[in-house]
């Protein structure tokens, strides 16, 4: 059977239309305009469609399914169409082409990946049948933690034999076979206020307590195990002449394994005050579970590497600290991430992709869909 062609300029033209539909996560009506465009493209290709209404200030989610293999375990393509860039950012970062580079908000993270997945899936919808049924789940809130889509991701993941995530590939075209889990916490500290000049002995500084807590949290960083802890937001106090009664911090923790998560998260949640009269309360937990490279994931990567070699790609894999929706499926189904386009500058005013990566990455997705069974 002859392989289809993926014409770069045609894909670039289609991708431009999507990039120019701004879709920040926190503007659900804008995300829904982007979902309308994706839904229209899949309807034209012949997919079975399901639109899941948004909630809690987030946009809709879209599910496109192949018309064959209903009820069978198949391949789940996992993508998101929300971006971090606010409405109007397109004026600051208009779509433009410079040599082999195309710029635009969300073009790398991850409209490029969603677009090539649609192109690969549409080849089957328009006349070829893959060995396994295909589902493409496109969510609207990945950039803010997938709080309204996680149940859908896990539900569809449990129905699948394989999950392919179209986040952008890493430097040099590497795919992702492991990601750290993400813990997110808020620390609230209440001390005792007093006049810092006349009655300092009566006070219990919440800021002092927070400083001690931060040192203990930072001590959990471990280069050998890969654990990282960052206290990224800190607030406290009211005036310089008042012993501060309240302090607050937001904490980010990255955990490469579930065992480390089970060991360290309780330590954060059970933090105790160092002085009598001070109260410490920590809320939060594991936002995304660790994505560990299991034997099944290693086998899926080996298969992808062989397919990539056939189309001239020396495919390598990598572990990364950033989380994705692949973290939700990797604990129970073979998941391969970073299958999107190659680019850089995600979330910045220089977000870009390599135009020359569009066709080979679309072909790799096509070959995976064609051969996974």
pLDDT value at residue 268: 97
- Point out the domain boundary residue: 259, 288, 317: 288
The answer on 193 and 160 residing in a single domain is: no
At 71 the three-state DSSP class reads coil
Nearest 10 degrees: CA dihedral of 352, 231, 177, 103? 0
Please state, in angstroms and rounded to a whole number, the distance separating the CA atoms of residues 96 and 76.
32
Please compute the mean of the pLDDT values over residues 55-65 and round it to a whole number.
98
pLDDT value at residue 128: 86
Q: Which residues contact 362 (CB under 8 A, 6 or more apart)?
A: 6, 11, 116, 119, 120
Residue at token pair 């309240």: 246
The answer on 90 and 61 residing in a single domain is: yes
Please state, in angstroms and rounded to a whole number, the distance separating the CA atoms of residues 238 and 138.
44
The answer on 256 and 302 residing in a single domain is: no
Q: What percent of the chain has pLDDT over 90?
A: 96
Number of domains within the chain: 2
Instruction: Say how many C-beta atoms besides its own lie within 10 A of residue 150's C-beta.
Output: 18
The answer on 348 and 212 residing in a single domain is: no
Phi, psi dihedrals of residue 70, rounded to the nearest 5°: -60, 130
Q: What percent of the chain has pLDDT over 70?
A: 99
Please compute the mean of the pLDDT values over residues 335-354 and round it to a whole number.
97
At 5 the three-state DSSP class reads coil
pLDDT in tens, 270-308: 999 999 999 999 999 999 999 999 999 999 999 999 999
pLDDT in tens, 77-88: 999 999 999 999
Output the domain CATH number for residue 210: 3.30.70.360
Q: Note whether residue 1 is domain-resident.
A: no
Q: Note whether residue 2 is domain-resident.
A: no
Please state, in angstroms and rounded to a whole number, the distance separating the CA atoms of residues 222 and 220.
6
**Nearest 5°: CA angle at 238, between 234 and 241?**
120
The answer on 107 and 22 residing in a single domain is: yes
What are the respective helix, strand and coil percentages of the chain, to the nearest 5? Answer: 35, 30, 35
Please state, in angstroms and rounded to a whole number, the distance separating the CA atoms of residues 53 and 115.
22
Please state, in angstroms and rounded to a whole number, the distance separating the CA atoms of residues 74 and 160.
5
Q: Note whether residue 326 is domain-resident.
A: yes
- Point out the domain boundary residue: 242, 263, 288: 288
> Does the structure show a pLDDT above 70 at 223?
yes
The answer on 90 and 154 residing in a single domain is: yes
The answer on 245 and 282 residing in a single domain is: yes
The answer on 304 and 166 residing in a single domain is: yes
Please compute the mean of the pLDDT values over residues 162-185 and round it to a whole number.
96
Mean confidence (pLDDT) of the chain: 96
Q: Note whether residue 3 is domain-resident.
A: no
Tokens read off for 22: 């701004």
At 30 the three-state DSSP class reads helix
Confidence of residue 2 (pLDDT cuts 50, 70, 90): low
Please state, in angstroms and rounded to a whole number, the distance separating the CA atoms of residues 370 and 335.
17
> Does the structure show a pLDDT above 70 at 260?
yes
The answer on 118 and 47 residing in a single domain is: yes
The answer on 367 and 279 residing in a single domain is: no
Q: Note whether residue 276 is domain-resident.
A: yes
Please compute the mean of the pLDDT values over residues 175-179 and round it to a whole number.
98
Confidence of residue 222 (pLDDT cuts 50, 70, 90): very high
- 127: alpha, beta or left? (left if phi > 0; alpha if psi -120 to 50): left
Q: Note whether residue 112 is domain-resident.
A: yes
The answer on 309 and 279 residing in a single domain is: no
The answer on 188 and 149 residing in a single domain is: no
Domain containing residue 226: 181-288
Residue 243 Cα to chain centre, angstroms: 41
Confidence of residue 109 (pLDDT cuts 50, 70, 90): very high
Q: Note whether residue 116 is domain-resident.
A: yes
> Taking a C-beta distance cutoff of 8 angstroms, is the pair 144, 71 a contact?
no
Output the domain CATH number for residue 128: 3.40.630.10
């Amino acid at each position: 059977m002859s392989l289809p062609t993926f014409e770069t300029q045609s894909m670039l033209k289609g991708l431009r239309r999507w990039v120019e539909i701004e879709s920040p996560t926190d503007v659900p009506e804008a995300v829904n305009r982007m979902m309308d465009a994706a839904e229209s493209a899949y309807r034209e290709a012949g997919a079975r469609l399901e639109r899941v209404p948004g909630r809690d200030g987030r946009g809709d989610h879209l599910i496109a399914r192949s018309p064959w293999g209903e009820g069978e375990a198949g391949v789940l393509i996992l993508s998101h169409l929300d971006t971090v860039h606010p409405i109007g950012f397109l004026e600051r970062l208009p779509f433009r082409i410079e040599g082999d580079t195309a710029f635009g908000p969300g073009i790398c993270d991850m409209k490029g990946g969603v677009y090539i997945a649609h192109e690969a899936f549409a080849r089957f919808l328009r006349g070829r049948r893959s060995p396994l049924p295909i589902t493409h789940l496109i969510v609207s809130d990945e950039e803010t933690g997938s709080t309204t889509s996680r149940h859908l991701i896990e539900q569809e993941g449990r129905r699948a034999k394989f999950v392919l995530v179209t986040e952008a590939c890493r430097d040099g075209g590497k795919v992702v076979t492991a990601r750290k889990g993400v813990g997110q916490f808020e620390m609230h500290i209440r001390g005792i206020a007093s006049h810092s000049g006349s009655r300092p002995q009566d006070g219990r500084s919440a800021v002092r307590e927070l400083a001690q807590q931060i040192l203990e949290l930072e001590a959990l960083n471990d280069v050998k195990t890969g654990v990282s802890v960052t206290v990224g937001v800190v607030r406290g106090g009211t005036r310089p002449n008042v012993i501060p009664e309240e302090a607050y911090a937001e904490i980010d923790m990255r955990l490469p394994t579930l065992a480390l998560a089970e060991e360290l998260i309780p330590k954060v949640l059970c933090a105790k005050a160092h002085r009598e009269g001070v109260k410490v309360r920590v809320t939060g937990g594991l936002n995304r579970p660790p994505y560990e490279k299991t034997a099944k994931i290693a086998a899926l990567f080996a298969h992808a590497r062989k397919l990539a070699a056939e189309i001239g790609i020396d495919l390598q894999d990598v572990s990364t600290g950033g989380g994705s929706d692949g973290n939700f499926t990797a604990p129970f189904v073979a998941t391969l991430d970073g299958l999107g386009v190659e680019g850089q500058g995600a979330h910045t005013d220089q977000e870009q992709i390599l135009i020359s990566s569009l066709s080979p990455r679309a072909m790799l997705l096509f070959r995976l869909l064609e051969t996974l069974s």
